[in-house]
Amino acid sequence: MLTSLYIKNYALIDELHVHFNNGLTIITGETGAGKSILLGGLSLVLGKRADLSQVKNTNEKCIIEAIFDIANYELKEVFNQLDLDYETQTIIRREILPSGKSRAFINDTPVTLESLVSLSGYLIDIHSQHQTHQLTQDDYQFKVIDALADNKKNLETFTQALKHHKSLKKSLKQLEVSKAEMIKEYDYNLFLFKEFEGVNLEKLNIEELDAEYEALNNVEVIGERLSAAKSIFEAEDLGVIDQLKIIKQELSKISGFGKLYEALKDRIESVAIELDDVLVELDALHENLSSDPEALNRVNAQLQVVNNLFQKHSVSDINELIGIKNELQEKIDSTESLDDNINLILEDIKLSEGKLNALALEIHKKRKKVIPVLIKRLESLLGDLGMPNAQFQIKLDSTKEFQNNGKDKLQFLFTANKGSNFNELKKAASGGELSRIMLAIKAILADYIQLPSIMFDEIDTGVSGEISNKMGDIMKQMSKRMQVFTITHLPQIAAKGNSHFKVYKTDVDNVTQTQLKKLKEEERIVEIAQMLGGMNITESAMAHAKQLLN
Give percent of the chain with pLDDT exceeding 70: 90
At residue 201 the predicted structure's pLDDT band, cuts being 50, 70 and 90, is: low
DSSP string, 513-540: EEEEEE--HHHHHHHHHHHHH-SS--HH
Helices 206-217 & 293-312 angle (0-180, nearest 10): 140
pLDDT of residue 218: 66
**197 falls in which pLDDT band (50, 70, 90)?**
confident
Q: What is the pLDDT of residues 333-342, one digit of tens each?
A: 676 677 888 8
DSSP one-letter code for 126: E
Phi, psi of 375 (to 5 degrees): -60, -45
Q: Which residue has the higher pLDDT, 303 or 384?
A: 384
| Higher per-residue confidence, 391 vs 133 | 391
DSSP-based helix, strand, coil % in the chain, nearest 5 = 55, 20, 25
What confidence score (pLDDT) does residue 260 get?
Answer: 87
Least confident residue range of 46-60, 104-118, 172-186: 172-186
Mean pLDDT (whole number) for 531-543: 88
The backbone torsions φ and ψ at residue 64, rounded to the nearest 5 degrees and listed phi first, read -130, 125
How confident is the model over 39-95, as pLDDT tens digits?
A: 888 889 888 888 788 888 888 999 999 999 999 888 999 999 999 999 999 999 999
What is the rounded CA–CA span in Å between residue 429 and residue 283?
118
Q: What per-residue confidence (pLDDT) applies to 161?
A: 95
Band (289; pLDDT cuts 50, 70, 90): low
Say which range, 180-189, 248-257, 343-352, 394-403, has the weakest mean pLDDT.
180-189
> Is residue 209's pLDDT more than 70?
no
Confidence class of residue 202 from pLDDT cuts 50, 70 and 90? low
DSSP collapsed to 3 states, 200-246: CHHHCCHHHHHHHHHHHHCHHHHHHHHHHHHHHHHCCCCCHHHHHHH
What is the H or E stretch that residue 15 is in?
strand 13-19
Mean pLDDT of the chain: 86
Residue 39, φ and ψ in degrees, nearest 5: -65, -35
Residue 149 contacts residue 370 (beta carbons within 8 Å): yes
pLDDT at 230 over 90: no
Is the pLDDT score of 293 beyond 90?
no
Give the strand order in the sheet containing 109-111.
13-19, 2-10, 62-69, 89-96, 102-106, 109-111
Judged on CB neighbours under 10 Å (0-12, 13-18, 19+), 49 is exposed
Q: Among 3.40.50.300, 3.30.530.20, 3.30.70.2390, 3.60.9.10, name the CATH number for the domain at 1-123+452-519.
A: 3.40.50.300
Q: What is the pLDDT, as a whole number, of residue 215? A: 65
Which of 366, 388, 374 has the alpha carbon at shortest distance from 470?
Answer: 388
Q: Dihedral sign for Cα 338, 343, 349, 352, please.
A: negative
Q: Quick one: pLDDT band at residue 375, thresholds 50, 70, 90?
A: very high
Domain ranges in the chain are 1-123+452-519
Question: Which residues touch 302 (CB under 8 Å, ≥6 apart)?
Answer: 198, 199, 204, 209
For the stretch 452-464, what's the b/e string if a residue is b when 16 or more beta carbons lie within 10 angstroms of its beta carbon?
A: bbbbbbbbbeebe
pLDDT of 236 = 67
- pLDDT category of residue 460 using cuts at 50, 70 and 90: confident
Q: Using one digit for the tens of pLDDT, what is the confidence trace for 127-144?
A: 876 566 778 888 889 999
174: pLDDT strictly greater than 90: no
Q: How far apart are CA 346 and CA 344, in angstroms?
A: 5
pTM above 0.75, yes or no: no
Res 391 pLDDT > 80: yes
Residues 433, 438, 439, CA angle at the centre, nearest 5°?
A: 100
Q: Sheet containing 124-128: which strands, arranged edge to edge? A: 124-128, 453-457, 484-487, 24-28, 499-508, 511-518
Point out the least confidently predicted range of 264-273, 471-480, 482-491: 264-273
For 348, the 3-state DSSP assignment is: helix
What's the burial of 114, exposed, middle or buried (CB within 10 Å: 0-12/13-18/19+)? exposed
Under a CB-based contact definition with an 8 Å cutoff, are residues 196 and 310 in contact?
A: no
Amino acid identity, residue 115?
S
Whether residue 167 is predicted with pLDDT greater than 90 in this model: the reply is: yes
Please check whether residue 498 is in contact with residue 25, taking contact to mean a CB–CB distance below 8 angstroms: yes
Which residue, among 344, 417, 26, 24, has the nearest Cα to 168 in the 3D structure?
344
Sign of the Cα torsion 129, 135, 140, 142 reads positive
Lateral strand order in the sheet of 423-424: 391-403, 406-415, 423-424
